[in-house]
Structure 1
Amino acid sequence: MNILTEYMANEIKLSPREQKFIIFKLKCIMYDLSKFIVMSLFFYYIGHLTQYLFAVLVSIPLRTQSGGLHFKHYWSCFLFSFGYFTIIICVLGKILLPCSLFLLLMLFCSIINFCLSPIQSATRPLLSDVKRQAIKKKSYIITIYCAVVILIFYQTSFASVGYWTIILHSLQLLIAYILKKGGERCEKRH
């Protein structure tokens, strides 16, 4: 990283703040890529790689727009993500919901995602109200879009993985929101 920092300072003439931001983003990409590779190998080994890839495809747009739980350390994030996808694929993915219940839950999830989005990491800068409202709308639309795609493939094995991914993501948002609000109340008291 020192070589990269020197290059950014001397050749590209980036400020120290810009350098830190780029290093932070590169680390995020490397960490996410390493988690993706390790989990891909695990799910390939147990015969569920396609379900994992589908769950990731549903998760990425939801997570990038609406946020969720954030961890301070790589290993806590990895273990949570590993458990999250394992529960979706190996446990909940075997539970098939009637179509009417699926539709009701997707409506509920889209409302949760709209109302609670975005849940940001503490390291990210605050958003303007205009940007926050735009993200809320995108999060709602993404949830509905994913639900429609899942509905089209409802008779396949991917449907249950898809809707459980959305349901757990919405639950994760709810938990993150509660934890964030609880922390804000504690800060106001002190």
Structure 2
Amino acid sequence: MERLAQKITNFIQVNNSNLSDLEIKKIKFGLECFLGEITKFFIYLIIFYALSLTKPFLVATLFFCVPRMPAGGFHEDTYWRCFFTSLIILAAIVIVGSKVLLYAHIRLIIILITLLLIWIYAPVDHPNKPIISIERRKRLKYASLLITLLFTGISFMIPERYAAVATFALFCAALALPVGEFSKRRFANKVVNQ
């Protein structure tokens, strides 16, 4: 992914000499992220389609990934580690969500824990792309809460067989926040100790 992103970035740079070094780095990073996510999505789609779990997979992906956009969370170091970790998480969400019947009071408890985790930890930035502005941090926290509340409302409107998948996906996205924060602190300590 990095090499492909570099080739595309080089092409953009040759055809647009007005871009600064920082803008070029941002373009390359954005391309790496986009290419990585789009290839993973299509491979996952094929896997879950082969298992006749396409709709639960799409629900899990939507409810897991969209709240992570403003909230952040845990990120693996390499494409393949990310690929397999995400596959395991999405498979767990789909399997548990499809097999477990969630009563309203249990869903409410899971949602409250989800919102609490977001309130405490969001946003969890990546060491390669830190969020420095306190104002931006506040906006991202409130956006994370708002999106999660919106998706919670949607989870009560979709068919019951997908509601548990949606709830578990939101919960797993929130669980990625303290894990990401711990990972980020460990990375920072490693850098300081070197």
Q: TM-score surpassing 0.5?
A: yes
Q: What RMSD, in angstroms, separates the aligned Cα atoms of the two structures?
A: 2.0
Q: Which one of 161, 164, 168 corresponds to residue 165 of structure 2? A: 161
Distance 1:78 1:6 in 2: 27
Name the structure 2 match of 1:112: 117
Contact 2:9 / 2:27 at 8 angstroms: preserved in 1?
no
Amino acid at match of 2:139: A
The CA deviation at 1:169 is 1.4
Q: Partners in 2 of 1:3 and 1:110 — Cα distance? A: 39
> 2: CA distance between counterparts of 1:189 and 1:4?
34
Q: Deviations over 1:101-160 (max 9, x none)?
A: 11122122112112201111111033311110111111111111111111223x521101
What amino acid does structure 2 have at the position aligned with 1:30?
Answer: L
Indicate if the aligned counterparts of 1:52 and 1:85 stay in contact, CA closer than 8 A.
yes
Please report how far the alpha carbon of residue 189 of structure 1 lies from its aligned counterpart in structure 2 after TM superposition. Answer: 6.8
Contact 2:102 2:164 in 1 (8 A): yes
TM-score by length of 2: 0.88
CA drift at 1:188: 6.2
Gaps of 5+ in 2: 1-5
TM-score with structure 1 length normalisation? Answer: 0.89
Task: Give me the identity figure in percent.
Answer: 24
Q: Give the structure 2 partner of residue 37 of structure 1.
A: 42
Q: Which string of whole-angstrom CA distances, capped at 9 and with x for unpartnered residues, describes residues 31-83 of structure 1?
A: 10000000000000000011111111112221101011111110000000000
What is the alpha-carbon distance in structure 1 between the residues aligned to residue 29 and residue 192 of structure 2?
29
- What is the alpha-carbon distance in structure 2 between the residues aligned to residue 173 and residue 137 of structure 1? 15
